C-alpha cells in the first residue's frame, strides 16, 4: 500500500462543509456523515463557515491541518464548494475526498460517488486513491467547466432565479430561456493552440473537463474522450439568432447538442483565447463567476488531484 493510500485509509478527515449547498437539511447531513465515520472508527473534524468566513479560507486551513497530521481534505457541498477546496488541495500531496450535495453534482457523479451522504462517507473509509485531471484558466482551477460569453450570463441569471424560486433543474431550464430572450452580442476571439491560430466569432465559448456533462449534452464522443487522453474539450456556438439559441438549449436538455450544425467542438491541452478590444472579461469556473485579465489561457493542470473514489464493487450508479 502506498503512503498516500495509507493516509487515505487511516488519516484524520478534515471536512470543509457548506451547509448552503443543495436542498438538504445541513444538520441532518452532518449527523449522517458523523454516524458513518464514527461507526468506522475514523477521526474527523468539520470546518464550517461562520459569519463572513469564506470557503477558500477554510479550505486552506484544512490543507494545513491535513499536511501537519497526515490527513485527508474533504469537500462537502456542491460543485462550487468542491472547486474551492480542490483549488487549495491541488499540489499539496493531500488525498482529497468529496461528499456531493449540490443540484447537479457533475464532479461526484462523473467519479461514481453517490449523492447519498452516507454512501459517500463510506468512500472516505474504504475508497481508493485515483489521479483525476483538473483544468485551469489563468491559473484558476476548474473541475467541471469554464466559459466566457453567454454561458456565464446564463449562470448569473440562474442563480438569481434559484434565490427566488429554489434549486431545481426546471428552474435552471426556465431561467435559461429567459436569458436567451435577452441575449445580445457576439465575442470576436483569437484562439491559439498547438502552434495554430484562428479567428472565431461566437456568443459563447465553453471548455469542459467533465465527461458526464458532455455526454449528457450529446457532444460527440471524440471530444468526450478528450479527458481520458489528458485533454480538455472546447465547444463554441456559431453566430446565430435567438430562435436558434432556443433550439440549442433544447438539444442540450435532450442530449443531442452534438447533432447541431451551429456547434463547433475540438480538444486541446493548452488554448490561448484573446477577445478583441477587451482587457477584462467575465469567466465562469464551475458555476463561480470572476473577472479575468485577457488573454485567457486554458490548460490541463500539471498535477492531478489525488481523489478518493469507490472501489469498483462500490461505485454509484450514474444518473
List strands edge to edge, sheet with 270-275: 140-142, 135-137, 296-300, 270-275, 187-193, 196-202
Residue 263: its pLDDT value, please?
Answer: 74
Mean pLDDT score, 60-84:
95
Number of Cβ within a 10 Å radius of residue 275? 18
Question: Which residues, at least 6 apart from 34, have a Cβ–Cβ distance to it below 8 Å?
Answer: 44
236 strand-pairing partners: 205, 264
Please name the helix (run of DSSP H) or strand (run of DSSP E) that holds residue 300, with its range, or none: strand 296-300
Question: In degrees rounded to 5, what are phi and psi of residue 5?
Answer: -65, -35
Q: Note whether 258 and 264 are within 8 A (CB).
A: no
112: phi > 0 → left, psi -120 to 50 → alpha, else beta; which? left
pLDDT in tens, 125-181: 999 999 999 999 999 999 999 999 877 777 766 666 566 666 666 666 666 555 655
Distance CA 261, CA 237 (A): 9
Number of Cβ within a 10 Å radius of residue 120? 26
Distance CA 140, CA 249 (A): 27
Question: Which residues, at least 6 apart from 96, have a Cβ–Cβ distance to it below 8 Å?
Answer: 72, 73, 74, 75, 85, 86, 89, 305, 306, 307, 308
pLDDT in tens, 167-198: 666 666 666 555 655 656 788 999 999 999 99
Q: Which band of pLDDT confidence, cut at 50, 70 and 90, is reported for residue 246?
A: very low
Please report where in the chains the cell 442563480 appears, as a residue: 159
Number of Cβ within a 10 Å radius of residue 111? 23
Cis amide linkage into residue 130, ω under 30° from 0: no
Of 162-171, 270-279, 301-310, where does mean pLDDT reach its minimum?
162-171
Residue 228: its pLDDT value, please?
Answer: 84
Distance CA 254, CA 125 (A): 37
pTM of the model: 0.84
Strands 13-17 and 72-77: parallel
Q: Note whether 202 and 185 are within 8 A (CB).
A: no
Task: Report the SS3 class of residue 138.
Answer: coil
Residue 12: its pLDDT value, please?
Answer: 98
Number of Cβ within a 10 Å radius of residue 293? 10
Residue 54: its pLDDT value, please?
Answer: 86
Q: Provide the 8-state DSSP code for 315.
A: P
Amino acid at each position: 500500500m502506498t503512503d498516500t493510500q495509507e493516509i487515505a485509509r487511516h488519516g484524520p478527515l478534515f471536512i470543509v462543509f457548506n451547509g448552503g449547498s443543495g436542498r438538504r437539511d445541513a444538520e441532518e447531513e452532518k449527523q449522517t456523515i458523523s454516524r458513518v465515520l464514527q461507526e468506522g472508527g475514523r477521526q474527523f473534524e468539520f470546518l464550517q463557515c461562520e459569519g463572513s468566513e469564506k470557503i477558500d479560507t477554510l479550505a486552506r486551513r484544512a490543507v494545513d491541518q491535513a499536511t501537519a497530521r497526515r490527513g485527508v481534505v474533504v469537500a462537502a457541498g456542491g460543485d462550487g464548494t468542491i472547486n474551492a477546496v480542490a483549488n487549495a488541495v491541488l499540489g499539496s500531496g493531500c488525498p482529497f475526498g468529496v461528499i456531493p450535495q449540490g443540484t447537479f453534482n457533475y464532479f461526484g457523479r462523473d467519479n461514481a460517488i453517490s449523492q447519498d451522504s452516507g454512501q459517500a462517507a463510506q468512500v472516505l473509509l474504504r475508497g481508493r486513491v485515483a489521479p483525476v485531471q483538473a483544468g485551469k484558466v489563468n491559473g484558476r482551477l476548474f473541475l467541471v467547466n469554464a466559459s466566457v460569453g453567454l454561458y456565464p450570463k446564463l449562470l448569473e441569471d440562474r442563480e438569481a432565479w434559484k434565490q427566488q424560486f429554489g434549486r431545481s433543474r426546471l428552474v435552471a431550464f426556465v431561467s435559461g430561456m429567459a436569458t436567451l430572450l435577452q441575449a445580445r452580442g457576439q465575442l470576436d476571439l483569437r484562439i491559439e493552440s498547438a502552434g495554430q491560430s484562428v479567428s472565431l466569432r461566437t456568443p459563447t465559448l465553453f471548455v469542459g473537463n467533465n465527461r458526464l456533462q458532455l455526454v449528457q449534452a450529446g457532444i460527440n464522443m471524440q471530444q468526450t474522450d478528450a479527458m481520458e487522453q489528458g485533454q480538455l474539450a472546447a465547444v463554441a456556438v456559431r453566430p446565430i439568432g435567438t430562435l436558434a439559441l432556443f433550439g440549442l438549449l433544447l438539444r442540450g436538455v435532450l442530449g443531442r447538442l452534438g447533432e447541431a450544425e451551429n456547434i463547433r467542438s475540438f480538444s486541446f491541452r493548452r488554448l490561448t483565447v484573446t477577445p478583441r478590444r477587451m482587457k477584462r472579461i467575465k469567466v465562469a469556473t464551475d458555476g463561480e463567476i470572476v473577472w479575468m485579465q485577457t488573454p485567457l489561457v486554458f490548460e490541463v493542470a500539471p498535477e492531478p488531484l489525488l481523489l478518493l473514489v469507490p472501489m469498483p464493487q462500490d461505485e454509484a450508479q450514474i444518473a
